[in-house]
């Protein structure tokens, strides 16, 4: 039968699975020869046995741990349950992964009335003995018997008031004895130490299934089956007197990452007092004066531990009568900045390799370098929360329309654009806003995508707000009214909306960060491109390391104020000649824009998507606006209204859009291709090496693609023949419909690249409209009907399966096709891992996510692959 009980000298740090994290590290420290109070660990499989046996400890467990207990008694020179020379234990839980929500530690287990008196006699320190006893009763009652701890604390507070005392250290032995008598009236607990121990072990196992623990496991995808270990350890006492104490410390500063030993301690206190914050602890530096020898040992120990684990450690220690003990070590939690600094410093110090350094930072941490963030410690007055659509923090005055944003921002006033939702018509307002807040929408609705593209903070789907444009108010569910020109703060990283101006930490660009990105580039296989249309975005993208443009959405170029009327004119044209006039003008705009992109990208590929949205998205909505437009175009208002009417669709997302526009209006495609290739020719003459890749959106089958590639190729041939030059180019498709993925084998014959447009592909696979998902996705997530928002993290099971099928089938027919992804998932770390695993060539994401994607792509290549 498998061994269930391990002594601290029988395991190592590699036994996490079996002994839990805490237990494995206690073993490791023991074998390093550090002063760890001796103890034993009951294994995690025993926890499973406990549940399988109907919440009962396995039959022989007690015999097994009694053997271990004897060995500890021998080593410590004291006996469990012996009043004259008592041995006391702490009982601690420890799962293989750190897990809040589990059982609290019980200290001083093994006490009763007789033993407390014995301990007082033996130590000659009755105050300490009775303080320890009352702590035991309190913890045992709370943790094992499930009696609320508040009553116990209140009893102490009342007692202190009555006796004019404030601090625990003023309490005498008699005071604590009186408290114990009060406790005994509140709770009855077993006096037999052996029974206490058995019940405490059971309580640790049972705490594996508290609702909090189950919830935490669900949130973090930790399997229920792994179970927890139990550590039973001889007690040492920080509450023995002024030559004793307890503390916690970090081997480096966990918020800045500076290489500087950092911590706090309390004199004459048990470790729980430091954590509970009932007294203000002293900085670790003053220990150097108070107990120089102990400090020296502590300092040497932390240094050794950090070198041994090659990572920043978070340690817990206790001092008993001038003697130093180690009670815990684990790798320390840290901020994003600290994680980057520590990883790079440790490579410089020769502690870890550059590959290991890459695995030490989370891609999310990288975000904190790119945007100013709301300072978490300054956060107050959260009045509503929505979806964290685009990270960063922003403060400004509230405006409710794009025009107003422009007017108010004109003199430099910072504004936040607050809308029910945004549309392409709001672009001018979004551009000047510090941040964007919408009541509706989701993580990939217009506001979210555009804001991420611009690197502007945004919160979408903030259903807790009701926006009233007429009154100029946004009212929260709790009745807080935010008025026009009120100052509020948005935290795009969490989705929180706060009143007033909340402090922020500045964006920074450190050498360490650049170094880390350099290592990422060395180790990644996936290419990283950016989604960008403007010269500004493309420049940003290159700066942040993009290796080309993976998606240039040409329609964005037409929404600019000086162009929109021309595309409207084109849409409202009644015959080819009329349309051609507008197309000729659009060609000039398009060509100029494309040339700017080719210039910025110099020799990197630029993937240009042909016109994609339904045409009516370009037309104004209101009647007045339509009339004004008719006047500007010199057309009868009735006619304009009629055409606009005809363009309305019941279901625009599935309507006349994407390459269907190219099929019906090849002249639009001809114009776009002439502009793209014409721009490339001019860029080449200016000394650049343009590489256009023309991408056809929303395709469903190969005949449709051929109908369009015929048009594209004819124009390219014409332009190149006329200009007498040659330009390398590619023609490919966006993979956005399930049919395209399932029929990829045939599509392969007509294309040179396939780029998965996973926003639409997700929308069409789920049948969830991405603009309406905000109405229900939060509830789906809450009730765990979906694991993740599929618009944020790629759904590997179904959407991912379609991608895999498309890749495998198309490869069967043709070698050398390049595969990419240009949906919002292209910037999501978990999705990037998947993209790497299924063999994509590149991901494309908004410029500001490029560094995140570089890190994630490297981690995907260096670390273990995703499970599915």
The site for Mg ion (CB under 5 A) is made up of: 316, 328, 736, 757, 760
Q: Decide which of Mg ion, ligand ADP, none touches 168; Cβ closer than 5 to 8 Å per partner kind.
A: none
Burial per residue of 41-56, b for 16 or more beta-carbon CB atoms within 10 angstroms, e otherwise: bbbbbbbbbbbeeeee
Q: How far is CA 396 from CA 432, 474, 506, 786, in A?
A: 11, 15, 16, 35
How many H-runs (helices) and E-runs (strands) does the chain carry? Answer: 35, 33
Least gap, CB of 758 to Mg ion (angstroms): 9
**3-state helix/strand/coil string of 153-221:** HHHHHHHHHHCCCCCHHHCCHHHHHHHHHHHHHHCCCCCCHHHHHHHHHHHHHHHCCCHHHHHHHHHCC
Residues in the chain: 868
Given 107, 374, 384, 583, the residue binding ligand ADP (CB under 6 A): 107
Q: How far is CA 364 from the centre of its chain?
A: 5
User: Half-sphere exposure of residue 784, counting CA atoms within 13 Å on the CB side?
Assistant: 6
Nearest to 429 by CA among 440, 445, 416, 442: 416
What are 433's two structure tokens? 């806003």
Q: Are 237 and 132 in contact (CB under 8 A)?
A: yes
Sheet holding 5-7, edge to edge: 5-7, 39-42, 229-234, 89-94, 106-109
Does 327 bind ligand ADP (CB under 6 A)? Our answer is yes
Q: Between residues 272 and 809, which has the closer beta carbon with respect to ligand ADP? A: 272
Q: Which stretch binds ligand ADP (CB under 6 A): 213-221, 234-242, 397-405, 828-836?
A: 234-242
Does 16 bind ligand ADP (CB under 6 A)? Our answer is no
Does 711 bind ligand ADP (CB under 6 A)? Our answer is no
Q: Decide which of ligand ADP, Mg ion, none touches 760; Cβ closer than 5 to 8 Å per partner kind.
A: Mg ion
Instruction: Please say if 231 is a catalytic residue.
Output: no
Q: Decide which of ligand ADP, Mg ion, none touches 679; Cβ closer than 5 to 8 Å per partner kind.
A: none
Q: Between residues 26 and 347, which has the closer beta carbon with respect to Mg ion? A: 26
Contact track, ligand ADP, 128-167, x by CB under 6 A: ----------------------------------------
Q: How far is CA 244 from CA 33, 294, 444, in A?
A: 22, 10, 57
Q: What CA–CA distance (Å, rounded) separates 758 from 736? A: 6
Q: Decide which of ligand ADP, Mg ion, none touches 600; Cβ closer than 5 to 8 Å per partner kind.
A: none
* φ/ψ (deg, to 5) at 476: -85, 165
Instruction: Please say if 822 is a catalytic residue.
Output: yes
Does 272 bind ligand ADP (CB under 6 A)? Our answer is yes
Catalytic residue among 365, 371, 446, 556: 446
Q: Decide which of ligand ADP, Mg ion, none touches 757; Cβ closer than 5 to 8 Å per partner kind.
A: Mg ion
Q: What CA–CA distance (Å, rounded) separates 178 from 729? A: 88
Given 25, 43, 132, 233, the residue binding ligand ADP (CB under 6 A): 233
Q: Decide which of ligand ADP, Mg ion, none touches 105; Cβ closer than 5 to 8 Å per partner kind.
A: ligand ADP
> What residues contact 383, with CB distance under 8 A and at least 6 apart?
476, 478, 480, 482, 497, 498, 499
Contact track, ligand ADP, 299-318, x by CB under 6 A: -----------------x-x
Q: Decide which of Mg ion, ligand ADP, none touches 335; Cβ closer than 5 to 8 Å per partner kind.
A: none
Nearest to 534 by CA among 447, 448, 593: 593
Does 329 bind ligand ADP (CB under 6 A)? Our answer is no
Catalytic residue among 659, 822, 835, 845: 822
* φ/ψ (deg, to 5) at 757: -90, 85
Least gap, CB of 825 to Mg ion (angstroms): 13
Given 46, 105, 125, 368, the residue binding ligand ADP (CB under 6 A): 105
Does 607 bind ligand ADP (CB under 6 A)? Our answer is no
Q: Are 559 and 424 in contact (CB under 8 A)?
A: yes
Does 42 bind ligand ADP (CB under 6 A)? Our answer is no
Least gap, CB of 207 to ligand ADP (angstroms): 11
Size of the site for ligand ADP (CB under 6 A): 16
Does 236 bind ligand ADP (CB under 6 A)? Our answer is yes
Least gap, CB of 328 to ligand ADP (angstroms): 5
Q: Decide which of Mg ion, ligand ADP, none touches 37; Cβ closer than 5 to 8 Å per partner kind.
A: ligand ADP
Least gap, CB of 452 to ligand ADP (angstroms): 38
The secondary structure of residue 593, as a DSSP letter, is: H
Which spans of this chain sit near ligand ADP (rule: CB under 6 A)?
37, 90, 92, 105, 107, 233-236, 246, 271-272, 316, 318, 327-328
Q: Which residues are marked as active site?
A: 446, 822
């Amino acid at each position: 039968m498998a061994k269930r009980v391990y002594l601290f000298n029988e395991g190592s740090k590699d036994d996490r699975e079996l002994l839990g994290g805490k237990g494995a590290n206690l073993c490791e420290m023991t074998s390093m020869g550090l002063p760890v109070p001796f103890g034993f660990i009951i294994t995690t499989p025993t926890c499973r046995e406990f549940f399988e046996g109907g919440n009962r400890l396995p039959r022989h467990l007690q015999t097994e741990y009694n053997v271990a207990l004897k060995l500890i008694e021998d080593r410590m020179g004291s006996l469990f349950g012996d009043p004259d020379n008592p041995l006391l234990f702490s009982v601690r839980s420890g799962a293989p992964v750190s897990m809040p929500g589990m059982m609290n530690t019980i200290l001083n287990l093994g006490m009763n009335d007789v033993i407390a008196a014995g301990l007082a006699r033996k130590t000659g320190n009755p105050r300490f003995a009775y303080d320890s006893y009352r702590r035991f009763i309190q913890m045992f009652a709370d943790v094992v018997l499930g009696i609320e701890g508040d009553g116990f604390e209140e009893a102490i507070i009342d007692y202190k008031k009555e006796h004019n005392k404030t601090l625990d250290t003023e309490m005498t032995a008699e005071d604590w004895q009186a408290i114990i008598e009060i406790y005994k009236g509140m709770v009855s607990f077993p006096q037999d130490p052996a029974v206490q121990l058995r019940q405490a072990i059971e309580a640790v196992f049972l705490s594996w299934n508290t609702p909090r623990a189950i919830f935490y496991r669900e949130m973090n995808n930790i399997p229920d089956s792994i179970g927890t270990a139990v550590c039973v350890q001889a007690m040492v006492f920080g509450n023995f007197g002024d030559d004793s104490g307890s503390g916690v410390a970090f081997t480096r500063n966990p918020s800045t990452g500076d290489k500087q030993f950092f911590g706090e301690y309390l004199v004459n206190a048990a470790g729980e007092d430091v954590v509970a914050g009932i007294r203000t602890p002293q900085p670790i530096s003053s220990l150097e004066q108070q107990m120089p020898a102990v400090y020296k040992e502590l300092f040497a120990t932390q240094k050794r531990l950090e070198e041994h684990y090659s990572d920043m450690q978070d340690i817990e220690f206790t001092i008993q009568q001038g003697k130093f003990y180690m009670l815990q070590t684990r790798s320390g939690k840290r901020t994003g900045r600290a994680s980057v600094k520590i990883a790079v410093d440790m490579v410089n110090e020769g502690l870890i390799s550059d590959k290991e350094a890459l695995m030490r930072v989370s891609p999310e941490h990288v975000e904190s370098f790119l945007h100013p963030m709301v300072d978490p410690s300054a956060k107050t007055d959260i009045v509503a929360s929505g979806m964290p659509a685009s990270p960063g923090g922003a403060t400004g005055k509230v405006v409710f329309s794009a025009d107003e944003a422009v007017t108010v921002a004109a003199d430099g006033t910072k504004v936040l654009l607050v809308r029910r939702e945004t549309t392409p018509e709001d672009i001018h307002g979004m551009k000047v806003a510090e941040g964007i807040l919408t009541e509706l929408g989701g993580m990939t609705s217009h506001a979210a995508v555009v804001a991420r593209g611009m690197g502007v903070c945004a919160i979408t789907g903030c259903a807790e707000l009701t926006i009233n444009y007429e009154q100029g108010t946004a009212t929260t569910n709790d009745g807080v009214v935010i008025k026009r020109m009120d100052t509020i703060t948005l935290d795009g990283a969490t989705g929180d909306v706060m009143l007033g101006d909340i402090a922020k930490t500045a964006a920074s660009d450190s050498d360490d960060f650049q170094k880390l990105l350099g290592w990422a580039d060395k180790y990644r296989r996936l290419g990283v491109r950016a989604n960008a249309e403007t010269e500004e975005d493309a420049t940003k993208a290159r700066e942040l390391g993009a290796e080309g443009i993976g998606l240039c959405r040409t329609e964005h170029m037409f929404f600019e104020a000086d162009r929109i009327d021309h595309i409207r004119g084109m849409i409202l044209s009644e015959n080819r000649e009329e349309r051609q006039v507008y197309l000729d003008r659009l060609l000039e705009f398009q060509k100029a824009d494309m040339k700017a992109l080719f210039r910025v990208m110099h020799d990197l590929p630029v993937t240009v998507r042909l016109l994609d949205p339904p045409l009516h998205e370009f037309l104004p909505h209101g009647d007045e606006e339509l009339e004004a437009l008719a006047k500007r175009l010199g057309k009868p208002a009735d006619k304009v209204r009629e055409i606009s009417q005809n363009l309305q669709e019941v279901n625009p997302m599935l309507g006349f859009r994407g390459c269907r526009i190219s099929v019906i209006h090849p002249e639009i495609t001809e114009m776009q291709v002439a502009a793209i290739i014409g721009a490339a020719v001019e860029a080449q003459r200016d000394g650049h090496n343009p590489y256009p890749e023309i991408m056809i959106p929303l395709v469903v089958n190969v005949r449709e693609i051929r109908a369009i590639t015929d048009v594209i190729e004819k124009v390219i041939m014409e332009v190149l023949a006329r200009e007498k030059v040659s330009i390398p180019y590619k023609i490919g498709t966006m993979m956005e419909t399930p049919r395209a993925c399932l029929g990829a084998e045939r599509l392969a014959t007509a294309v040179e690249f396939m780029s998965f447009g996973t926003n639409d592909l997700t929308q069409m696979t789920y049948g969830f409209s991405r603009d309406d998902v905000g109405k229900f996705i939060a509830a789906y997530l809450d009730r765990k009907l979906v694991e993740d928002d599929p618009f944020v993290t790629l759904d590997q099971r179904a959407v991912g399966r379609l991608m895999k099928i498309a890749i495998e089938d198309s490869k069967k027919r043709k070698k050398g096709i390049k595969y990419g992804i240009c949906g919002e998932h292209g910037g999501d770390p978990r999705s990037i891992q998947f993209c790497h695993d299924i063999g994509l060539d590149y991901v494309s994401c908004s410029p500001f996510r490029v560094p995140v994607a570089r890190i994630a792509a490297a981690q995907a290549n260096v670390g273990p692959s995703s499970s599915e």
